[in-house]
Amino acid sequence: MSKKSKEKALTSQQEDFSAWYNEIVLRAELADHSPVRGCMVIRPYGYRLWELMRDELDRRFRETGHQNAYFPLLIPQSFLSREAQHIEGFAKEAAIVTHTRLRATDDGGLEPDPASKLEEPLIIRPTSETVIYEMFSKWVQSYRDLPILMNQWANVVRWEMRTRLFLRTAEFLWQEGHTAHATEAEAEEETRRMLGVYRSFMEEWMAMPVVTGPKSESEKFPGALRTYTTEALMRDDKALQAGTSHNLGQNFSRQFELTFQSEEGSEEYAWNTSWGVSTRLVGGLVMTHGDDRGLVLPPRLAPIQVVFVPIGRTDEQREMVLGRIRELTDRLSAGIRIHVDDRDNLTPGAKFYEWEMKGVPVRIEIGPKDLEKGQLVLVERVPAEEAERKEFLDQQEAIAGLEDRLERIQARLLEQARVRREESTTRGGVASVAELGRIVEERGGFVYTGWCGSDECEARVKEETRATLRVLPDEEFRSADAPTRCLCGEASETEVVWAKAY
RNA sequence: CGGGGCGUAGCGCAGCCCGGUUAGCGCGCCUGCUUUGGGAGCAGGAGGUCCCCGGUUCGAAUCCGGGCGCCCCGACCA
């Protein structure tokens, strides 16, 4: 019995992925557009998602010895200009504070008071390397003060031309880790360690598989020696840079006189790293798992893991059903995030659609018939097999098994995402730029090829195919028999991954 | 910053080309009754600076000029 939907249906992913994404973010109440162009309001449901990500990442940062701190939003303009590449990277998208007062205009409006003009403009941080290393230089004297392992949760502003909710907004929330070390080897180890933290978080919590490895010279962070990335593949077969970890070398310590006296007594520049993930991860989560019904959330990050929908014709029935639900949920471990949808102005069907759209992993229906039989109806957001969509289960057993079920769902989502990525990955036999272009155009996904290592070659491929060099994959991701030739015909130096990217 | 599209009720839209009563529809919202295992039904009701400013006209959502905003597609970026 196909029911005509009164709600406008979601645009399907196949019809227009971009429209699908925008609609789902708004309709699932993750975020909304702000009055200021390019900025977003993160709504409670979306913010809870971010908080759950944040809490787990924060736990992992502490576990690896890092401490949280907070550095100011405003940065002296002169700081940014100290590191040449760094300024080049951020100058084009800066928000600048020039005045400290407003005054009334004749026509009843407001304008910056010229008398309050700052001698030196302040930049709203696009990232905090400069202030942080300035401060580190005050705090560090000897090798005994190292390493410094610090992190901050903050907002940053980058005045983007073109924005999209979560994926690229003018202001976003993130974490930026900043460390200082006595040796290059230690800094490199730290850079790698945090890349690993990101990777395992993304896989274990977001159920989002990633390919890790260094970026090419042209794609690295401005001011870094080396940038490592975690690259994920979205359901529209475009790549998303989900997190980055940078070995900054001594670039910043030289500019900010971040020096220390070594064990041997010599004065040395410290070695720095920085690493970050942002609210962009929420966008990545949406585009990794979402389908034409809406969001699909992995249980570990779902604000609501299990939603109960009571069903009853009469007030009396509803009371009894709700009573039963209370009995059952009292017995649940406090670790499970549940919600009982007892609204009486919606039919059960309407609730089903709503919670599916919001990506809740498990729905449990209980009605009068179930009370008699001691059973309940359980539906997973993404069932293992379509055939068993509605499961009729013993109440006690179902409740007792919820925790395990959520873990199984978590694992399955990662597995499914992995399968999708592999199906969208092309390895071997891509021998020309034209062929790469064709694959990227027609099929999308990750394309592995050989690379001679030259910037010019990379730029040419980018120009001709619209694909970018996403990552020089770490060994475990490389092909069994790596290509021996670059697309240009020269000998391949390393295997690389190309894709159209967000 | 270039190209395209759109601004009318909370949301989605019609009306505009061809100016003419109190500006309309669906969803949502409020009240009541009946309902509830896949988007409930009926009845009643609330809700609008038609993006802004100016012009043309007896009369502007509609025509003209200027502005603003948003979305999409490109160049740059987490």
Statement: residue A103 has pLDDT above 90: no
Answer left, alpha or beta for residue A393, where phi above 0 means left and psi between -120 and 50 means alpha: beta
Q: Which nucleotide is closest to the Cα of A5 by its C1'?
A: B39
**In angstroms, rounded to a whole number, what is the distance separating the alpha carbons of residues A44 and A304?**
12
Q: How confident is the model at residue A32 (pLDDT cuts 50, 70, 90)?
A: confident
Give A473 CA → B60 C1' in Å: 64
Nucleotide nearest to A156 (CA to C1'): B78
Cβ A470 vs Cβ A231: under 8 Å: yes
Alpha helix positions (H), A64-158:
77-80, 84-90, 129-139
Q: Find the Å distance, CA of residue A345 to C1' of nucleotide B22.
A: 34
Eight-class DSSP state of A445? S
In this predicted model, what pLDDT tens digit does every residue of A191-244 receive, in sequence order?
999 999 999 999 999 999 999 999 999 999 988 999 999 999 999 999 999 999
Average model confidence (pLDDT) for chain A? 92
| 3-class SS of residue A447 | strand
Q: What is the pLDDT of residue A222?
A: 86
Nucleotides of B under 7 A from a protein CB: 1, 12, 26-30, 35-40, 69-78
**Confidence class of residue A387 from pLDDT cuts 50, 70 and 90?**
low
**For range A105-117, the mean pLDDT:** 81
Residue of A428 and A492 predicted with greater confidence: A492
> In this predicted model, what pLDDT tens digit does every residue of A288-311 receive, in sequence order?
999 999 999 999 999 999 999 999
> Would strands A446-451 and A494-499 be described as parallel, antiparallel, or unpaired?
antiparallel
Q: How many CA atoms lie within 13 A of A261 on its CB side?
A: 4
**Of all nucleotides in the shown strands, which has a C1' nearest the CA of A171?**
B78
Res A301: pLDDT = 98
CA of A261 to C1' of B75 (A): 47
* Angle in degrees, CA A291, A9, A388, rounded to 5: 50
Residue A95 (CA) to nucleotide B53 (C1'), in angstroms, measures 30
* pLDDT, tens only, A49-62: 999 999 999 999 99
Spatial separation of the C-alpha atoms in residues A66 and A442, rounded to whole Å: 45
Nucleotide nearest to A377 (CA to C1'): B37
Instruction: Quote the Cα angle for A334-A283-A286, to 5°.
Output: 65
How many Å apart are A16 CA and B52 C1'?
33
Task: Give percent of chain A with pLDDT exceeding 70.
Answer: 98
CA closest to C1' of B40 belongs to: A347
- Bridge partners (DSSP) of residue A498 are A447, A469
- For the cut 70, the answer to whether the pLDDT of residue A177 exceeds it is yes
- Region of A229 on the Ramachandran plot (φ > 0 left; ψ -120 to 50 alpha; else beta): beta
Domains plus CATH for chain A? 20-76+127-289 (3.30.930.10), 304-405 (3.40.50.800), 425-499 (3.30.110.30)
One-letter amino acid of A75? I
As a rounded value in angstroms, the CA-to-C1' distance for A110 and B55 is 29
Mean pLDDT of A12-28: 87
- Sign of the four-CA dihedral A211, A216, A221, A226: positive
Q: Which amino acid is at A450?
A: G
**Nearest protein residue, CA measured to C1' of B74:** A162
Whether pLDDT at A119 is above 50: yes
Terminal-residue alpha carbon distance, chain A: 40
**Does residue A494 have a pLDDT over 50?**
yes
Which H/E stretch holds residue A24?
Answer: helix A17-27
The stretches of A290-357 forming alpha helices (DSSP H) are 315-330, 348-357
What is the pLDDT, as a whole number, of residue A82?
Answer: 85
Nearest nucleotide (CA of A164 to C1'): B71
A395-432 burial: b if 16+ Cβ within 10 Å, else e: beebbeebeebbeebbebbbebbeebbeebbbbeebee
Q: What is the DSSP letter of A291?
A: B
pLDDT digits over A445-473, tens only?
A: 999 999 999 999 999 999 888 899 999 99
Q: Which residue is nearest to nucleotide B1 (CA to C1')?
A: A161
pLDDT at A2 over 50: no
Asked whether residue A354 carries a pLDDT value surpassing 90, the answer given is: yes
A220 Cβ partners below 8 Å, 6+ apart?
Answer: A214, A226, A227, A246
Distance A23 CA to B23 C1' (A): 29
Query: If you ran DSSP here, which 8-state letter would residue A386 be given?
Result: G
Q: How far apart are CA A273 and CA A396, in angstroms?
A: 51
Neighbours of A204 (CB within 10 A): 15
Question: Nearest residue to B12, CA vs C1'?
Answer: A8
- The DSSP call for residue A318 is H
Give, for A261, the enclosing helix (H) or strand (E).
strand A259-261
Measure, in angstroms, how far nucleotide B15 C1' is from residue A133 CA: 62
Please report the pLDDT score of residue A13 as a whole number.
87
pLDDT, one tens digit per residue, over A136-174 is: 999 999 999 999 999 999 999 988 878 889 999 889 999
**pLDDT interval class at A37 (50, 70, 90):** confident
Nucleotide nearest to A366 in CA–C1' terms: B37
Strand nucleotide closest to residue A243 (CA to C1'): B78
Distance in Å from B32's C1' to A338's CA comes to 34
**Which helix (H) or strand (E) segment is A412 a member of?**
helix A402-423
- Residue A84: its pLDDT value, please? 76
d(CA A319, CA A344): 12
A432 DSSP assignment: S
Q: What is the pLDDT of residues A246-282, one digit of tens each?
A: 999 999 999 999 999 999 999 999 999 999 999 999 9
pLDDT band at A386 (very low <50, low <70, confident <90, very high): low
Residue A441 has pLDDT above 90, yes or no: no
CA of A279 to C1' of B40 (A): 39
Which two three-digit tokens encode residue A212? 């890790």
Q: Residue A26: count other Cβ atoms within 10 Å of its Cβ.
A: 14
CA atom of A314 to C1′ atom of B33, Å: 14
pLDDT at position A26 over 70:
yes
Smallest CA–C1' separation from A349, nucleotide: B38
pLDDT reading at A481 higher than 50: yes
pLDDT of A100 > 70? The answer is yes
